[in-house]
Structure 1
Amino acid sequence: MQPQLQHLDPFNVAGLTARTTNRDESDPEAARIGTLWDRFFGERVYETTPHRIDDMRLYGVYSAYETDAHGAFDITTGVAVADGPATVRIEGGDYLVFTGQGEMPQMVLAVWQAIWHYFDAHPEIRRRYQSDFEAYSGPDQVAIHIGVLTD
């Protein structure tokens, strides 16, 4: 899978947030991301979030990184908003975009595996660890944006 480099302007997402680690996510008893998405859909957060803009995608945002892929981070399930309280900011800058299509959640997990392999194979490409995000344009389509440093 060859990612595409995109430069993005900053924007805001609002929704539900939890703190987790990749280690916790590999343990079904400690994992929080699936439960957060269940709450997001169960409580219909996508319908009730104030200041929503004309962007119908759903977002999974990774932010507030403690260190890198091994430290704690925030995960926010949400929608794009104009502004307001309880928002997480997607930093502007360069992103490598990895796409996938297929049955959830296996497809998104496979895309993340491809991302880990890509960065293992390309140590010269450095992640920013400020904001990364999944953008879902349909029930079986995702574009995962990983912030990178470009010199």
Structure 2
Amino acid sequence: MFQNPSNEAIASILKNAKTIAVVGLSDDPSRESYAVSAEMQRRGYKIIPVNPNVQEVLGERAVASLADLPEPVDIVNIFRRSEALPDVVREAVNTSAPVIWAQQGIYNEEAADIARAHGKTMVMDRCIMVMHSLFVRGA
């Protein structure tokens, strides 16, 4: 049964990360992926949009897939439905990112097993912005 890392581990992940690849980042400001990523960008993180349907989001050039990342990343943050998570994680385990993060409401045991089998830390069903507010900004 999957368990998220401890609050201390999540705080450490967020304090040490600098670059976040965001799978499913929309260029529509009304979408949660846009709002959360914009706020994380304001908080000092470099955001790399991963979405084959957009050219640029938040002033950053988008890439079509995780295989196209132009530089190493610290976190792959995922805004996709739970049933899409295993396929996204299969791509994410081939990146430099030690952490794969599925946003609030996104949870899939198979995806967690894939991440674990590849030595990656998995966070699921947690909003990265809320966790940052609680454990980094509030610290």
TM-score under structure 2 normalisation? 0.28
More strand by share: 1
Higher relative contact order (Cα pairs below 8 Å, separated by 6+ residues): 1
| TM-score normalised by the chain length of structure 1 | 0.27
Q: Who wins on radius of gyration, i.e. which is larger?
A: 1
